[in-house]
Structure 1
Amino acid sequence: MIRIGIILGSTRPGRNGEQVATWVHDTASRRTDAEFELIDLRDHPLPHLDEPHGAMHGHYQHAHTKAWAARIAPFAGFVMVTPEYNRSTSGVLKNALDHLYAEWNDKAVGFVSYGVVGGARAAEQLRLICGALQMADVSRQVTLSLTSEFENYTTLEPTDHSATALDALLDQVVAWSTALAPLRAASRTAAPA
């Protein structure tokens, strides 16, 4: 069975992302077509990118990068839960993505975003970043507006529309993650020893 990581891309105190990621994980955990695991970036404190070599070479020098690579490598796909800060994703999520390269390749990714206008611009930025990492982004996404899906801007109350959109996003992430398995296998056999 394939494994899908749900990455919580905010580390702010009082973050709304924790509720969002829990909702995504609870919904996903009812499925039987994949295993889902929550990955909280608070549990993986990475300094600003400090590797002396580009990630595409895979010559990680620091223990924190090696541990992050080992955490990400086993997953076949991801759902990224992102806030929108200043029309983009969070710096901590961008930094976590930049630390690795091959561990992201040939994996599917979907986006659940939140913000005043649903975080759609953060998801669009992530599509560009993930494309450069050779990830396949699915077309469905979930955008949660702080004004209509959070009571008092703090308590998540997703609409039926958002719940339906999440189910469709998960369908696509699982399907694409499964379909990309031959590419991941070919990459592993082609990698130098």
Structure 2
Amino acid sequence: MTSTPDPLQLAVIIGSTRSGRFGPTVANWFIEHAAQRPDVTIDLIDLVDTQLPPHLSNDPGEHGARALAETGARLAGADAFVVVTPEYNHSYPAPLKNAIDWHFTQWQAKPVGFVSYGGLSGGLRAVEHLKQVFTELHAVTVRDTVSFHGAAQQFDALGQPTNPAPSKAAATKLLDQLVWFGEALRSARSERPYVA
């Protein structure tokens, strides 16, 4: 793999804010894998830390407006996204939908990949719902995902997959696709503004 002079700015978003959540374990593993690549730089956006206001409130307040501006700037600065999501009731978490809905242009003409986790489905039903949402926002979702079925049993006490080869291969494939689309779309946006 050759290094690029201008690495892709990749925002990794932890979509769950529940107490006792498993998302940071999965996200940290993915970031550790992605950080070995010279063609990406990573910005971790943990929705617990953003403290976004409730869903499309008419008055987000001073604190909410500041949180929206800060998160919006980080999303706008990204060339690509990876959403780390669990599956709750056959879909994705409400705080993640809140974060998505507060922003619009930040997602446009950029690729989105998914790392999911859960029980038997491994979060894949959440991913299918998210693909529809991001398509509506003019983002480009990549085909391949990383999925952990029975996630709590898939990681050891150090936060590493107990069977690392398949998950590393899936993460590499996802990152390869994100970089390809990310570089292509970044060039396209610089040459010609995207029309929604």
Place the TM-score, normalised by the shorter chain, in its bin: 0.7 to 0.9
Give how far 1:65 is off.
Answer: 2.1
Number of the residue aligned with 1:42: 48
Instruction: Give the residue type in structure 1 aligned to 2:107.
Output: W
SS in 2 for 1:140: coil
TM-score (norm 2): 0.84
Give the fraction of aligned pairs with identical amino acids, expressed as a percent: 38
**Does the alignment pair 1:149 with 2:154?**
yes
Aligned length: 182
Give CA deviations for 1:130-163 in whole Å, capped at 9, x if unaligned.
10111111111011012652469xx652532121
CA distance in 1, matches of 2:125, 2:189: 29
1:88-121 CA-partner distances (Å, limit 9, x unpaired): 0111111100000001101101000000020000
Q: Does 1:25 align with 2:23?
A: no
Pair 1:15-2:17 in alignment? no
Give the alignment's Cα RMSD to 1 decimal. Answer: 2.4
- Which range moves more in the overlay, 156-165 or 123-132? 156-165
Is residue 124 of structure 1 aligned with residue 128 of structure 2? yes
Tell me, yes or no, if the aligned pair for 1:51 and 1:62 is still in contact at 8 Å: no
Secondary structure (helix, strand or coil) at the match of 1:109 reads strand
Rate the CA distance shift 1:126–1:77 in 2: closer, same or farther, 3 A.
Answer: same
Alignment-mate amino acid for residue 168 of structure 1: K
CA distance in 1, matches of 2:44, 2:34: 10
Matched position secondary structure for 2:115: strand
1:130-169 pair list within 5 angstroms: 130-146=134-150, 149-150=154-155, 157=161, 159=163, 160-169=165-174
- CA distance in structure 1 between the partners assigned to 2:54 and 2:176 by the alignment: 34
- 2:170 and 2:115 map into 1 onto residues whose CA distance is 10
Select 1:177's aligned residue among 165, 173, 182: 182
Alignment of 1:72-91 (within 5 A): 72-91=75-94
Could you tell me how far 1:68 is from its partner in structure 2?
Answer: 1.9
Instruction: Report deviation, 1:50.
Output: 2.9
Uncovered stretches (5+) of structure 1, i.e. residues with no partner: 54-60
Shift of 1:51: 4.6
Contact 1:105/1:184, CA 8 A, preserved across alignment: no
